[in-house]
Chains A and B, each alone.
Chain A
Amino acid sequence: MPIYNQFNDSFNDFYHFIKTYLKDDIQLIILGHYQLLNELLEEKYRTLVIKNMIEERNLSGLKHQLSHNHPILKLLSESTRHQLSKLSQYLDQSSQTLLTLKSWEEQLIKQGLTNIHLDISAQPSRSYYKGVFIRCYLNKHDTSILTGGFYSGDLQGYGMALTL
């Protein structure tokens, strides 16, 4: 089973490369988890129509599909930068998904990276990654994106890549 430290080491290597060789820095980080939607959305609501609306952040459409106080609506109405701090209001404190996201956030903040956004629209069946994922945009290199996450299948582990 891959452990977080392995991913953290890889992230540090890439971050060092970005700062030292690209002379750049990370502008914005998007964190997400492919199990998050299942934890926030009851099974009866996991229809194709609702999943598509969540993927498109279609708030006026979701308003007609979900209850007015539904966590998905509440979270999507918040700025993406504040969504991670609000997430604990809607999940069990022992949720592995919540704990994973919080520990990644904590590690990133320790490195001085504070512009962290949550993406709750990610859907498990539509990605190579199956668990937590990260996407980082740089200040100066518009087309260079650092992406990574947890994948599982015949092989499992953390993958990370930087497009140059």
Chain B
Amino acid sequence: MIRVALAKGRLLESFINYLEAEQLFLLSNGLKHRQRQLLVTIDGIDFIIVKGSDVPIYVEQGIADIGIVGSDILNENKYNINNLCDLPFGHCHFSLAAKPVTNDYKKIATSYVQTTSRYFKNKGIDIEIVKLSGSIELACIVGMVDGIIDIVQTGTTLKANGLVEKEKITDISARLITNRTQYFKKGEEIESFINMLGVQMINA
């Protein structure tokens, strides 16, 4: 039996919608109606529901054979995993956002320090990064920082808080990752899972 670690929240919802679109109703219904269970077995597959940033850790440690996680998480740290392929859901992007009048950046708030650091380094701009865990927009509204770097899906939250996207930084999508050893040991089961999802690794 294989075990799959899923990132809870927005990405899990996106995965469930994808399963429904692929008519994999046994899995989508099982995940939708799991109530508050963090470990659920559906159709012979163990699913564990964890925080996004913990997905690669569960996979790296061999607790999960497969993980489904956003590329935003994988770009923040180096993990000893197979980062196999893009998945056709969970699309969004990183953006630099600020108040409409702001064009000069000295202090930036974000949860994604590495992505932010890389972006400004490439532009040759020296900035101070303030790491926050959530509600990043607030730091800009109250004037703690000049701008924020965060994930944008629809832009509704930015707009509701009087901020605008200044620049799109990079696309984000769901990624399928595997444990390095289990990739050999459970190769056929992992391949079956990928095929069941309708994902062609080379064409993803």
Contacts and interface: CB of A to CB of B under 8 A. Distances in A.
Interface of A: 27-28, 30, 56-61, 63, 73, 77, 79-81, 117, 119, 137
B84 A79 contact: no
Contacts of A77: 201-202
Interface residues of B, number: 17
Interface of A is mostly: mixed
A59 B203 CA distance: 9
8 contacts: A28-B184, A59-B84, A59-B85, A59-B202, A60-B202, A63-B203, A77-B201, A80-B184
**Counting chain A CB atoms within 10 Å of each CB, which of B84, B184, B187, B201 scores highest?**
B184
B190 to A, nearest CB: 10
Contacts of B187: 79-81, 117
A30 B183 CA distance: 11
Interface of B: 81-86, 181, 183-185, 187-188, 191, 201-204
Given A60-B202, A60-B204, A80-B187, 16 more contacts: A28-B184, A56-B81, A56-B82, A56-B83, A57-B83, A58-B83, A59-B84, A59-B201, A60-B201, A61-B83, A63-B203, A77-B201, A79-B191, A81-B187, A119-B184, A137-B184
Interface of B is mostly: helix
Contacts of A137: 181, 184-185
A57 B81 CA distance: 9
B204 A28 contact: no
Contacts of B82: 56-58
B23 to A, nearest CB: 24
A28 B185 contact: yes
